[in-house]
Amino acid sequence: MADLNTRISDFLWANLSEKHVNGKKDPFWQALKDTGTELWLDTGDIEEAEANWSAEMSALTTNNTLLNNEIQKGIYDIFVSEARHIVHDLPLETKVKEIAFMLNARHGLRLASKFGGLVSVELHTDLAHDIKGIEFYGKRYHEICPDQFIVKVPYTAEGLIGAKRLREAGVRVNFTLEFSARQNVIVTRTAQPDYVNVFLGRVGAFMMDNKLGDGSGAGEMAVISSQNWVTAFSAKNQWPTKLIAASLRHYNQLELLAGTDVFTMPPKVAAAGRKSLTGKFSIRTHENYDVSIYPSAKDAGIEKFWEVDDKVLSLAQRLNQKMPATGQELVRIAQEEGCEDMFPSLSKEEKAIISGDGKIPVFSKWQKKISDGKIAPDTLLTLAGLASFTADQAMLDQRIMNIIE
């Protein structure tokens, strides 16, 4: 395998001829950066990134959806055709996964070369519950571009274990698909990755779409609470962890959440903020935002997006003292600590419901299970996010299959 890895690495670096972009200095973005916030663009579209890149920005992040968007344009079809000759001896399923890995790495290298910053690269969704696979591919990403690649690992029981092992091996980790402070407490205390996330837009969308509230304030509260917990626990850890306010939905969040460790900004949000805001930023990470919650949200567990109870702290401490070897054991420990709703057991039918509903779960389908403490809104959003990425990964894999067969 070592020889194959070398040939793949050589292939990925060959003919990399991106013209480097020297971002211009911009007082607007410097003022936001001065609050302590790192500025990242959230896109895989190179032209879109170039149009919004500024000297104050330090990274780009992609995911399975964003990468699939680029692949479906056909810009990598020749690359895939050439890549198949390098992995021709592998079984078909492994061959597809390897080429998907190569696509992610190649696109990441193009972004890293062009913009000179860090780049988050994503694991194949088949690895979400595969500790050895997370380690194997995570280390390979790191070997290809150790100075600029950050490996995204999803929030699963196995992801926690795999991320911790990667971090111990010196691999930069961006732990993804979190939606609450309590999830980030668990991750920061145990896996100790470089970055954790709150995908705040979906928190508000969950409330609004399910008529549990108007959506205002909820995502912001989840970020503010997460930031304070992550900062506190990071100070106790061997390695520091930073919080990402992920995929901002509205430019006003640039002001409302200024001072958060990191923003990942879709280019449209960055452009709108640059056009519409004054550029007078101040640190807002100790503010409490009002959350609109309707009576229909009674017993919906909405507060779990930003509250952290003693059961969660106890679970975090126990996992910090000794990380289990398997995801199954971690789930059992979570149940023992009264945190079953963070790592629920789902039937095949329930998994199909989550996949069918898309990124925003339908609350009414889960109301009783939430009320019984078997699952929670933040967990639902994590599962829905992973299911959505899995669907996009399947589209990407199918395009590879269509080319190599």
User: Is residue 107 assigned to a domain?
Assistant: yes
State the average pLDDT over residues 194-220.
97
Q: Does the pLDDT at position 354 exceed 90?
A: yes
Write the CATH number for 169: 3.20.20.70
Check pLDDT > 90 for residue 160: yes
Confirm whether 19 is domain-assigned. no
The pLDDT, as a whole number, for residue 213 is 97
Nearest to 188 by CA among 146, 244, 150: 244
Model confidence pLDDT, tens digit, residues 203-212: 999 999 999 9
User: Average of pLDDT values for 165-173?
Assistant: 98
Examine residue 375 and state whether it is found in any structural domain, yes or no.
yes
The pLDDT assigned to 139 comes to 98
pLDDT digits (tens, 9 = 90+) for 17-60: 999 999 999 999 999 999 999 999 999 999 999 999 999 999 99
Tell me the per-residue pLDDT of 361-394, one tens digit each, with 9 for 90 and over: 999 999 999 999 999 999 999 999 999 999 999 9
Model pTM above 0.85: yes
Mean pLDDT of the 165-185 span: 98
- The whole-number pLDDT of residue 43 equals 95
Q: What percent of the chain has pLDDT over 90?
A: 97
Across all residues in the chain, what is the average pLDDT? 97
Give tens-digit pLDDT for 255-271. Answer: 999 999 999 999 999 99
Task: Classify residue 23: in a domain, yes or no.
Answer: no
Percent of the chain clearing pLDDT 70 (strictly above):
100
Taking only the tens place, the pLDDT of each residue in 91-117 is 999 999 999 999 999 999 999 999 999
Task: Assign 1 a pLDDT band (cuts: 50, 70, 90).
Answer: confident
Mean pLDDT calculated for residue range 63-75: 93
- Inside any domain, residue 2: no
**146 belongs to a structural domain:** yes
Q: Residue 247 pLDDT more than 90?
A: no
Average pLDDT rounded to a whole number, residues 156-185: 98
Residue 177 lies in a domain: yes
List b or e across 99-122, with b for residues whose CB sees 16 or more CB atoms inside 10 angstroms: bbbbbbbbbbbbbbbbbebbbbbb
Instruction: Return phi, psi of residue 355, to 5°.
Output: -65, -40
Residue 41's contacts (CB-CB under 8 Å, 6 or more residues apart) are 49, 52, 53, 57, 59, 60, 61, 264, 265, 266, 267, 270
What is the structure's pLDDT at 172?
98
Q: Quote the number of domains for the chain.
A: 1
Residue-range definition of the domain harbouring residue 108: 29-404
**pLDDT tens column, 274-305:** 999 999 999 999 998 999 999 999 999 999 99
Q: Is residue 234, in this structure, part of any structural domain at all?
A: yes
